[in-house]
Amino acid sequence: MTSISHQPAMSGGRVAMVSPMRNEAKHLDAVIRAMAAQTRPPDEWIVVDDGSTDDTRAILDRAAEELAFLRVVSAPAFPMPEGADRLSHAAAPRVFNYGLSLAEPFAYVGKLDGDVELPPNYFERLLAEFAADPRLGIAGGVVVEPHGGEWRVHGASHLAHVRGALRLYSAECLRDGGGVREVLGWDGIDVVLAHKNGYRTQSFTDLVARHHRPTGTAQGALKGHLRWGRCQYIQGYPAYWVLARAVKVGAAEPRVLSGFTYAAGFAQAAVKRVPRFDEAGYRAYLRNELRGRAAAKLRRPRTALAGS
């Protein structure tokens, strides 16, 4: 984590964006064009190149000559086992925190992945939502991903979760939550902490971004699902919840095997006794929140029937 130098949140407050990137050359031009086209661009966009071996750095350096708010820096060498899965070893939040440490004081700060193409009104709309609701702590849009030659909405069933790939925090929410944790599952942990601290989180379905690389496929779909299961263990989700979710995950390609691999990632982490996140009653709060969500789902059919 890093110290957070912030301004009071306000509709016209300063916006800093941080983008950890590694080998994103394939989609980077579209991402940069979308940032340049923003009706209300960020005041500062710090892109941290994490040792790219493709043309990522060259593309960024060219763009920085045209975009006054873009600053390109190199990530320091973080200790990591040889041949390690960088995503499983939380490279992204560590690189994000390094970029955040370079930012000027801000009222809002966001994370944007190098394969996410934002709609042109993204920041203008989110800042209006923050101004309208002082308790809004984390906000973002939804994504569409390429499947079979068409763009399909992905992961928009639980709108209180804001994807880590394109989120914006109020400085107060990030500070009160203790900053971004440098662990796998950081983007779920800080949503729960925001709720625990009295903030609201929201994904807005009319803000649709293009995620050019389907979720969890950077190193193969099955490896992504295994990592996701491990992530859920670290975040403190109970086994019954993960097993129930594995049924839904199993509908993704490759069918059935995806759900099995997801559950196996959770079980593997449990067997290895991987440290689970639990600060100041976090896990107790999470389980109460899950029970509330389950109860709300059970009430929906009865409500619909009563109204028919």
User: Does the pLDDT at position 304 exceed 80?
Assistant: no
Q: In this structure, how many other beta carbons lie within 10 angstroms of the beta carbon of residue 59?
A: 20
In whole angstroms, what is the distance from residue 195 CA to residue 212 CA?
A: 30
Q: Is 224 helix (H, G, I), strand (E, B) or coil?
A: helix
Nearest alpha carbon to residue 133 among 188, 192, 204, 182:
204
- Cβ-contact 211, 143 below 8 angstroms: yes
Per-residue pLDDT, 149: 83
Nearest alpha carbon to residue 212 among 71, 29, 60, 85:
29
Per-residue pLDDT, 107: 98
Pick from 125-129, 202-206, 280-284: least confident: 280-284
Confidence class of residue 132 from pLDDT cuts 50, 70 and 90?
very high
Q: What is the pTM of this model?
A: 0.88
Which helix (H) or strand (E) segment holds residue 104: the answer is none
User: Does the pLDDT at position 5 exceed 80?
Assistant: no
Q: Which residue has the higher pLDDT, 115 or 279?
A: 115
Per-residue pLDDT, 23: 96
Q: What is the per-residue burial (b if ≥16 Cβ within 10 Å, else e) of 282-304?
A: bbebbeeebeeeeeeeeeeeeee
User: Does the pLDDT at position 303 exceed 50?
Assistant: no
Per-residue pLDDT, 51: 94
Query: Would you give the distance in Å from CA 263 to the centre of its chain?
Result: 21
In whole angstroms, what is the distance from residue 170 CA to residue 129 CA?
A: 11
Per-residue pLDDT, 220: 67
Per-residue pLDDT, 80: 60
Per-residue pLDDT, 213: 86
Per-residue pLDDT, 148: 79
Q: Can you tell me which residue has the tokens 């295994």?
A: 226
Helices (H), the chain: 25-36, 56-64, 91-101, 122-132, 171-176, 186-196, 221-235, 239-249, 257-271, 282-306
**What is the per-residue pLDDT across 158-177, written as a single tens digit (0 to 9) for each?**
899 999 999 999 999 999 99
- Cβ-contact 304, 210 below 8 angstroms: no
Return the biggest CA–CA distance within the chain.
Answer: 61
Q: Can you tell me which residue has the tokens 């759900």?
A: 259
Q: In this structure, how many other beta carbons lie within 10 angstroms of the beta carbon of residue 305?
A: 8
- Cβ-contact 6, 104 below 8 angstroms: no
Query: Would you give the distance in Å from CA 215 to the centre of its chain?
Result: 11
Q: What does the mean pLDDT of the chain come to?
A: 89
Q: Is 167 helix (H, G, I), strand (E, B) or coil?
A: strand
User: Does the pLDDT at position 306 exceed 60?
Assistant: no
**What is the per-residue pLDDT across 48-57, written as a single tens digit (0 to 9) for each?**
999 999 999 9
User: Does the pLDDT at position 39 exceed 70?
Assistant: yes
Confidence class of residue 77 from pLDDT cuts 50, 70 and 90?
confident
